[in-house]
Structure 1
C-alpha cells in the first residue's frame, strides 16, 4: 500500500452549473424527484432548497416549486451555489495531513482530538481545524467530514473538500466501499483470528454506551487476526465491514477481550496472573483505548482511482507494545524448561 505524502493536482475543479434533459422514464414526475435522479451528487433535501431559492430552470424558466411536474424532453438547469456554514469557526490547530488534492484530504488524527463539535464542545475540534487548513470546506457539510473516529482513537480519516466529493464519499461509506483496518491491543491471550457478527445499538440502560443488541440493533461485522501474542494480551488487526459507533470496542468487549485502556467497555480492568508491577503500572496509566486506524483504502470520488494510505500506531501504542514484549520475554525466561 502506497504512502501518499505529496499534493496531487490531477483532480478536476468542481462545476457548480449543470444541465440535463428529462428522459422518458422520468416524465410526468415531480421536479425535485427528477432533479434527485439527474443531479445525484446532491441530496433531495438540498435540491428542494435550491429549487425554492430559484436555482433551477426548466426550459430556461425559473421554477421554484418542487412539486411542479416535468415532461420528457424538458431541459433542466441547476446552479448549485453552496452556502457557508457559519456556526463553526476556523481555528489554527496543527494537523497531520498525509495527502490532499483538490477533492479530498487524508488526516492522521491524534488521540484526544474530538472530530466535530457536540454537546458542550464548540471549539478545539478537527472540524474547526479543517475550516482553517482548508477554507473551501466552509461550504461542505461538517467541513467535509464523512466518517469519524472516537476522540481517543487515533488514525486515518478522509475529508471531502468539495460538495461533489462529499456526496460521493458519503455514498461509498453507506455502501461499505471503504477498506479500513485498525490496530487494537486487547486483554487476553488470543490463539487465532475470527469474526464478530453481532448487531449494535444503544445500550438499553446506559444511553451513552453502545452494546450488542440482538433485536433492533444495526448489522455490524468485524474481522480480526492476530498480529502478535503476549503473556496475557494480544495485538490484533481488525478490519471493518460496517462502521457502527464504537464498533470495534463493543465487539471486542462482547467476546471478552476488551481493548486496553477502554474504560467505557471494561478495558481498564487489569488482567493477568503474576504480572510484574512495572507492566501493571503501564496498563493502569495508559490514557485511552489502544485503538488506531492504520489503513484506509477507497476509490477517489472524482478520478475513480483506488488509493490507499498507511499510518503506523503513534508512540503511546508503540511504547505499550514494547512493554508487553518485555513482560512476555521475562515470563518465557522464568518458565521451567522441559
Structure 2
C-alpha cells in the first residue's frame, strides 16, 4: 500500500494523545492514518516529538502495536492499539539517604530486622521517589549503598505493617534470597477477613497480573505458583481473625488469595467490598519472621506486637460481642 501524504487536519485532531514521554499512553490508531509507516503515524499523533526521537523509542522497544513488538517501518492500517511506554525516570536510580524514623528489632554486621509501620513504602517507585524505607535504611547504614536494593530482600505493601529482613552485605543478601527461594523463611501474618470462616486450610492458586485492572493482581492460570496456609484465631459477628503463613511471596498474595475465597481483608480498598467495616487500611500485619542467620547459621525468630490501629479494631470487635 503506498504512503499517504501528510495532512495538517490529522495533526490538529490528535496532538493531545501523547503529551509527555514520562507517562504511558494507550490509544487506538485513527483510520485516516492507515497506510503510513509506524514512525510517520506517531509523528502525526505526537508532533511535539521529532520523528528521529520517535524512531529511537521504537528501536528501544518502548512502542507496542496490538500487544506485540514494533518496527519503525511497519505499515499501520487503522484501529490498532498503540502503547507508548514511559521513559525511565532518572530518579529511579537516585536513592538518597534520608533521616527517617526506623523501628529496628534486631541488627548485627550482616542483618537488620525492621518493624515497618503501615503507610511506609518499602522501596522508591512511581509516585514515591523518596521518604521510603530504603531511604531510611541508607541513612541508618550507609554501607547499604553497596548492596542491591539497599539490602531489601522481600517486601510488604505500603499499608501492611510488620517485620522485614534487610541484608547488610551482598553475601548476606544472596543467602537470604536463596532461603526465600527454598521457601524456608517463615513469614506469618495476622489478617482480619470479612465473613466468618469455620476452619483453616490452604490456598494453592497461581497469582498474576489482573487481566483488566493492570495495577491489581488476581488468581489467574498464567500466574506464578502461590501457596498460603491459614488458621482461625478468633471469630466475630461478621469477620474472622486469621493467622496466615506464606510459602511463596507473590505481590498481594494473602490479599488476593483470601479475596478469591470471598473473604477479602477488612479495609482492603483494592480487593474488598466498596461498603464494609470501616478501617483505613488493609487489616494485615506481618507478626512473625523466622530465618537462618546468613553468617552464623543459627535459626532466629522475631515477633512484632499488633500496631495500635489494628489492636484497637480488634478491641472494638470484642466489645461488640
TM over 0.5: yes
Contact 1:260 1:268 in 2 (8 A): no
Query: TM-score when scaled to structure 1?
Result: 0.67
Partner of 1:157: 164
Where does 1:137-286 land on structure 2 (aligned, <5 Å)? 137-214=144-221, 216-270=222-276, 283-284=277-278, 286=279
Displacement of 1:155: 0.1
**Higher RCO (C-alpha under 8 Å, 6+ residues apart):** 1
Partner of 2:46: none
Change (3 A) 1:321 1:167: same
Q: Report SS of the residue matched to 1:298.
A: strand
For residues 139 and 86 of structure 1, what CA distance do their matches in structure 2 show? 13
For residues 269 and 240 of structure 1, what CA distance do their matches in structure 2 show? 28
Displacement of 1:267: 4.6
Query: TM-score when scaled to structure 2?
Result: 0.70
- The C-alpha deviation readout for 1:165-215, integer Å capped at 9, x for no partner, is 01111111112120010000011011111111111000000110000002x
Where does 1:111-150 land on structure 2 (aligned, <5 Å)? 111-150=118-157
1:313 is the counterpart of 2:306: yes
For residues 268 and 135 of structure 1, what CA distance do their matches in structure 2 show? 43
| Counterpart selection for 1:89 from 93, 96, 103 | 96
RMSD: 1.2
Gaps of 5+ in 2: 1-91
Gaps of 5+ in 1: 1-84, 271-282, 329-338
Contact 1:267 1:289 in 2 (8 A): no
* Total equivalences in the alignment: 230
